[in-house]
Structure 1
Amino acid sequence: MPHFDVTRLRLPTGPRADMALAGFVLVLAGVAEGQRLGPDWDADASVIGSWFLAAAVCAALPLHRRHPVAVGWFTVLGTGAYHLLSSVDGPLVVIPIAALYALSAQGRTQASVAMAAVMVIGVGAGALAGTGDVTGTAVFMLTGWLVAVVALGAMRHGHVTYAEEQARLRATQERLRIARELHDVIGHNMSMIHVQASSALHRLQRDPGQAQEALTAIKQGSKEGLRELRATLGVLRQVDEEAPTTPSPGLSRIDELVSSAARAGLDVRIERSGCHSPLPAAVDLAAYRIVQESLTNAVRHSGARHVVVDLHRGEREVTLSVTDDGQGASRAGDGSGIAGMAERARALGGTLSAEPGPAGGFAVRARLPFSDHHQPTSGAVDDQDPAGG
């Protein structure tokens, strides 16, 4: 005997749900109206009119997604006319209530409140007329139901709006993070290529050998830049594409930055202190990017010849400083590099300062804290850490 899996049952949604509800209510209304037929199944004009109105109101509900306000008013007025013709308190009132909820869930609060008020006024007028079918209790209960329906629809609208706003915020933060990564990768490598290209042009006629060395450095720098650019752009890949397997940049690759800066004419000295245990991936990436941007600025703006990079790995934080012997002028207006470094530090709860040194030159100092419970840098992971955003 085949087994029936209840978990596979799915209630209809969207237009199918509207059609299912309309069909169900129409069947119930038809059964209720059938009680008004005589023994010979003869129907008078009021019965025929009631059936027609019930069918029209139910048929209008699936159209509310395209014409929500018009369908809402039609179902409210049509249901009111139905109750004037019919002596049966049928279930047709479910249709305007459903339309009312849909309106409120779309944020059309004024229209839904106006329709609810018309329904309450209509039912209240029937109670005052003393028809016997409508009492004050019925008016009170209908009012409570309509208030609840409008409130639930408004809550649904607020929840959807909040979720959409959060999605837009996450997308904006991701775009900013990618922009910072692209700035760090492209800015550093293009600066080194620019310096080497200028040197090659200057030496091409007088010293072809040194010009060839500069061109070789340009080739190596462009290759490295393309590799990091591909890794950074991996976050934009489609789901079915192969994920990049390049390790995330970190302080373990700082020698590559030193070599690149040396090809651009900088003498870089690395001073390390503290323990040597692995860093959290986000902190490792942020420290690498701060050193990278600082060296880039030293090449592009300061005219420095010597740079000292001091790294200290504490138990709960990393402190680093990049000091050069350049002109020492403020570089705050040169672009988004310093602002990007500061934002990386703030994202980790740390601080960053970038200012001319007391004896000349320029100094960048950063403090990047981390908790005791963290995921260390290991393996091949995408350059998609939250440090940049």
Structure 2
Amino acid sequence: MSLFWRIFSLNAAVLTVAALVLLFAPVTVSATARMAEALIVLAGTAVTLIANAAMLRVGLAPLARLSRVMTTVDLLKPGTRLAVRGHGEIAALIAAFNSMLERLESERAASAGRALSAQEAERHRIAQELHDEIGQTLTAVLLDLGRVTQAAPEQTRDQLLQVRESIRNSLDEIRRIARRLRPGVLDELGLASALRALAGEFTTAGMSVRRQVGAELPVLSKEVELVVYRVAQESLTNAARHSAAQHVDLVLSHEKDQLQLCVRDDGRGLRGAAEGAGIRGMRERALLIGAGLTVESGTTGGTSVQLRVPT
């Protein structure tokens, strides 16, 4: 039965009951209604309206549930579906909405995959240019400065040494940026070594990172390794920049056919703040490999980021 005929039937049923009550109830209304008669009519009208509202609420309840889901659905948190209840057009509408969500989630994942692949390719290109072009140029400058320093007078040698030290620090910074853009250790030595190097990098930046990497990790694809590494990198970056954390625990474990990465800090926590571009980027990366990501405040403060990858 269509929605129109359902509403019509409900109203017809209520009006029919009201008419039967007026026909067969021992109640009369004078030409000029008395107070008691007016109260009886008003009470009957109120009962009729209440019954009509209750029946309509029951009949339209699936639409109210659909409206709530539509206002709260987030494509970065897939799996939200509404149970198909009701009949006729309402059930068809809910089924169509669920189908639309599936298409949107698949299209969002595909477009995010293309965008992230392009981003990684661009990072790789920039890192290679930093290493090959700027890195080699600064290395040549250091060698030239070394020869100039040896032949320079004593009064200018100290200044040249300071310039040389500044250039060496700049070269180290460029190499560090290149490693963050494209971690060569991830391709050469694997995920476990890359995470150990990442934890050491943030430890030297003034934040203590306690790492615990499982000894027996499953064989992972390059795509999965890169997603796990980027999520750990973004989590540590957020802890250093926004949480004012002093200690961070980075744990990578594997149990029950599931690889789990947990990054927990002792900083300020989320404190009800909206998710920024960094967290949404982590969610998009997790969707690419079918992983689940949760970001929440810890029970004793701080922030906890958990990535669960089915293996």
* TM-score bucket (shorter structure): 0.3 to 0.5
Give the alignment's TM-score, normalised by structure 2. 0.44
Give the alignment's TM-score, normalised by structure 1. 0.36
